[in-house]
Amino acid sequence: MAQLTQLIVAARDGDKRSAEMLYRAVYDDLHRLAARQVARGEGGGLGGTSLVHEVYLRLAKPEALVLNDSQHFFAVAARAMRQIAVDHARERLAAKRGGGAPATTLGAAEQVSTGDELRHQQLFVLNEAMEALEAVEPRMARLVELRFFGGLKLEEAGELLGLSPRTLKRDFRRARAFLHARLGDGGLPHDAAD
């Protein structure tokens, strides 16, 4: 992690070689996180590699390299995955509903299945609940974001946030309770509650 932080600092200061080394160093981690998210059906319709490449494109911009350390990097990556998944799901639903385009055949409209539409809608509802949590408890929102959208295990997210095991468990229980209350009977999609 210390070497990663050094690469982040050097890349932020304009060292292009360090920026390239940074993305090579984190590519496998990002791909693992994206694969977890896609496996749960929460990639917004994107595959793992596509999601990683979208995250890379967002993080490769000079203004995105205003990062402090590896914890901050992975928090930003998790946020980017969340935004990309929600944006992509929104685009797919808009395309299915016409998206302002001229009318087309029924076969083309069926490209997004009912199951996909349901997952996309669940993603929107979860995103709204996450925004509400972030407004009142930002640390807990970051924890859930790293866990659910970043695909980290609970202990990995706790390490990145610097939370003790006791605080980690307490925060995650409170965040789950908040999100369950906001989401109603539908609960948290897939294993976000684990």
How do residues 101-144 score in pLDDT, each as one tens digit?
Answer: 444 333 433 444 445 666 667 777 788 888 899 999 999 998 98
User: What is the model's pTM?
Assistant: 0.60
Count CA within 13 A, CB hemisphere, residue 88.
21
Coil vs helix vs strand at 153: coil
User: What is the average per-residue pLDDT within 152-173?
Assistant: 88
Q: Where are the domains of the chain?
A: 2-95+115-193
Query: Is the predicted pLDDT of residue 175 greater than 90, yes or no?
Result: yes
Q: Residues 121, 152: contact at Cβ < 8 Å?
A: no
User: CA 136 → CA 3, 74, 77, 130, 142, distances in Å?
Assistant: 34, 22, 22, 10, 12
| Count of CB atoms situated within 10 Å of the CB of 162 | 9
Q: What is the share, in percent, of the chain residues with pLDDT greater than 90?
A: 13
In the predicted model, is pLDDT for residue 10 greater than 70? yes
